[in-house]
Amino acid sequence: MQFDSFASFLDMGGYAFYVWLSFGASAALILLLIFSTLFSHKNARANIARQVKREQRLQQAQAQANVSESTSQ
């Protein structure tokens, strides 16, 4: 489909409301998906960092308990 002018392109043969509404809704949903993914990725990285720190603390506590046991014997 070819258009005579930019105004006729924007009019979309009389269906401008539906065409541009669908483009707008699609763009909004894609942006929502992008931001949602970035937010989820950020949360996942934070959870992994928290878990790594927790495991390190547990290993340190376990090593400290092993040292305490060996010195008390």
Which stretches of the chain are assigned E, i.e. beta strand? none
7-58 pLDDT per residue, tens: 988 898 889 999 999 999 999 999 999 999 999 999 999 999 999 999 999 9
Per-residue pLDDT at 26: 98
Main-chain dihedrals φ then ψ at residue 3, nearest 5 degrees: -115, 145
Assess contact for 31 and 37: CB atoms under 8 A. no
1 domain-assigned? no
Inside any domain, residue 30: yes
pLDDT of amino acid 73: 64
pLDDT at res. 52: 97
Q: Which domain holds residue 12?
A: 6-72
The tokens 């950020």 sit on which residue?
A: 42
Token output for 12: 């979309």
**Counted domains in the chain:** 1
